[in-house]
Amino acid sequence: MWFKNARVYRLSAPLTTDVSVWEQALSEFKFSPLTAQEMVRSGFSFPLHQSIKQYCHSLDSLLFFAVKRQEKILPAAVINEEMQPRLEAMEQEKGRPLSRKEKQALKEELQLSLLPRAFSRSSLTQGYYDAQNHWLVINTSSAGKAEDILALLRKALGSLPALPWLDNHKLNTNLQLWLQNKALPEGFALGSDAELKAPDEEGAKVKFSNHLLSADEVQSHLQDKLVTCISLEQSDALALQITDDGALKRLKFHELLTAQNDELGWEDLSARLDADLLLMSSALNSALLRIAGQLGTEQ
């Protein structure tokens, strides 16, 4: 349950904290396996563990949830191999090359015929609602995946007035300053990774990994490029990368933090997971508040 990424959204109106309401709402959109003819399906699952059958887990002012997604795997190479003889046969039958629309229809028909034989893969994405700070935190760096989860939550809860947690203009301005080691969020130091991109049509990019970012060869790129990603570090809590659209990537919690509950063991699974969740969410929320505070974003 230690998040590896985060997409964060501010809520303009608070959500209910009644666990029974959440449990009922999420269970009505619970996950069920794909049918033979389906390509993808999502639904709510158990956020803690499959043996702890709760769709919503309450902990202090936090409500944890999870979305399971299952999709069929149809590699392009397999589709192309199966399609070529069908395409040739149909063109020979019609006595002419197929149009783009006809080819697309043939491809879709082929995909449907292959679905029952395709393998499937599943993924579980956790998130939580923080009733104190009025934000949603989802364990993904993908905007598309986060939006899909928000859409499912909106169906279940009926309303979800969610907005990105940071003002993009303020964030972009601060990313430029942070690379210069200026106006960093309280408690953070500049890390060793950065990505920059030119704002023109060519969009030249440069990426630095495990690099001294104060070096002239890095700083010189600020003359004609914008920072699109930069790493920040806290000495006693976590390290992260923040992108120009507000996504947090490569969250890495300090080993002294993650080891704090080792003495509890795993005999009581629920108690141990709760203890780890409190540590993780506390450290992550503290980082979010400091970053948002530096940008003057109200929560």
pLDDT at 299: 46
What integer best gives the mean pLDDT of the chain? 92
- pTM of this prediction? 0.85
Residue 120 CB burial class (10 angstroms; 0-12, 13-18, ≥19): middle
Rounded CA separation 121/40 (Å)? 10
Phi and psi (nearest 5°) for 193?
A: -125, 140
pLDDT at 297: 67
Report residues of the chain scoring pLDDT below 70: 297-299
Phi and psi (nearest 5°) for 52?
A: -105, 95
- Cα pseudo-dihedral 52, 58, 60, 65, rounded to 10: 100
Rounded CA separation 18/227 (Å)? 42
Nearest to 295 by CA among 216, 186, 202: 186
Each residue of 197-230: pLDDT tens digit?
A: 999 888 899 999 999 999 999 999 999 999 999 9
pLDDT at 218: 95
* DSSP, res 60: T
pLDDT at 238: 95
pLDDT at 118: 83
